[in-house]
Amino acid sequence: MAIRINGSDVAVPDDARVSLLDLLREGLHLTGTKVGCNQGACGACTVLIDGQRVLSCLTLAAQADGRSVTTIEGLGSGSDLHPLQVAFIEHDGFQCGYCTPGQICAAAAMLREVEAGIPSYVTADLAAERLTLSREEVRERMSGNLCRCGAHNGIVEAILRVAAEHAA
């Protein structure tokens, strides 16, 4: 029994009640994953499991057994930042920085969802060959990640910029 976290195998905790969030923060000191509500309402604890965005507060650690978890620490750090991390700094996509790791993890998975052609509530043409990532699409798709400082414009701008660079 093991969970692969940022490339390293970690044992599943003995206490079955331990959430993936608490395993990361309290067990492994991977405190880049944040806790804002512990009930799936704010998105601050978003991590990637096998590339998909997941709320780690609503995921028991045991449910991640045998799967691959990527946290903000695994996405990029120090001089090796992920393009989204760089763009968030450039476009001031945060103030206090607390919701930021969740926003960035969610954005990384969201861009892959768009590439895979998964539509959203605001997608106008469900039959289109390729989805166009409009500002509206980003806003809808990121609405599960709350920000209280009000960095929404910068977050959306940063994501659009990275998406455009990726497409180019």
Partner 1 sequence: MSKTQNAIISSVRTVMGWVPAQWLPGGTPDPLIERRAAIGRQASRLDGPLKVAGEARFAAEVAMDRLCYAALVHSPVTRGRITRLDTGAAETAPGVILVMTHRTMPRIGTLPLIGITDLSAVGNSSIPIMLDAEIRYNGQVVAAVVAETQEQADHAASLIEIDYAIDAARTRFQDARPDARTPASLLMDKNHVSIGNAERELKRAPHRVDNMYRTPAQNHNAIELHAVTAAWEGDSLVLHDATQMIAPSAAALAKLFGLKREQVRVLSPFVGGGFGGKGLWDHQIVAIAAARLAGRPLRLMLSREGVYRMIGGRSPSEQRVAIGADAEGRFTALLHTGYSVMPPYGACPEPYTLGTRALYGARSFEIMQRHLDLDIVPNTFMRAPGEAIGSFAVESAIDELAHAMGVDPIALRLRNLPERHPISGAPFSQHALGQAYAEGAKRFGWDRRHAEPGTVREGEWRIGMGCATGSFPYARMPGANVRITLRGDGTAVIACSAQEMGMGTATVQAQHAADRLGLPLEAISVELGDSALPAAPMAGGSSQTASIAGAIAAAATKLAGELLRLAGNDSPIAGLRAGEVQLVEEGIASIADPTRRESYRSILARAAREAIAVTAAGSAPLEFLKFAMHSSSAIFCELRVSAVTGEVRVDRLLGSFDCGTILNPKTAASQFRGGMIMGLGLALMEETLFDERSGRIMNPSLADYHIPAHLDVPEIDVIWTGIPDPRSPLGARGIGEIGITGVAAAVANAVFNATGKRIRDLPITLDKLL
Q: How far is the CB of 158 from partner 1 (least distance, A)?
A: 10
- The residue from 3, 109, 111, 156 that contacts partner 1 (CB under 8 A) is 156
How many residues sit in the footprint of partner 1 (CB under 8 A)? 64
Q: How far is the CB of 144 from partner 1 (least distance, A)?
A: 8
CA torsion sign for 21, 80, 164, 90 is: positive
Q: Describe the strand order of the beta sheet including 8-11 as a list of residue ranges.
A: 8-11, 2-5, 68-70, 46-49, 52-55
By C-alpha distance, which of 94, 99, 93, 85 is closest to 35? 99
Q: Which residues in the 113-152 window bind partner 1 by CB under 8 A?
A: 122, 135-136, 138-140, 142-152
Write the DSSP string, 71-95. Answer: -HHHH-BTTB--HHHHHHHHTT--S
How far apart CA 40 and CA 21 sit, in angstroms, is 11
Q: How far is the CB of 140 from partner 1 (least distance, A)?
A: 5
Q: Which residues in the 46-105 window bind partner 1 by CB under 8 A?
A: 71-73, 76-78, 81, 85-86, 88-90, 92, 94-101, 104
How far apart CA 121 and CA 44 sit, in angstroms, is 22
Q: How far is the CB of 60 from partner 1 (least distance, A)?
A: 11
Contact 145, 89 (CB under 8 A): no
Would you say 79 or 129 has its CB closer to partner 1?
A: 79
Q: How far is the CB of 97 from partner 1 (least distance, A)?
A: 3
**Interface contacts to partner 1, rule CB under 8 A:** 15, 17-18, 22, 25-26, 29-42, 44, 71-73, 76-78, 81, 85-86, 88-90, 92, 94-101, 104, 122, 135-136, 138-140, 142-156
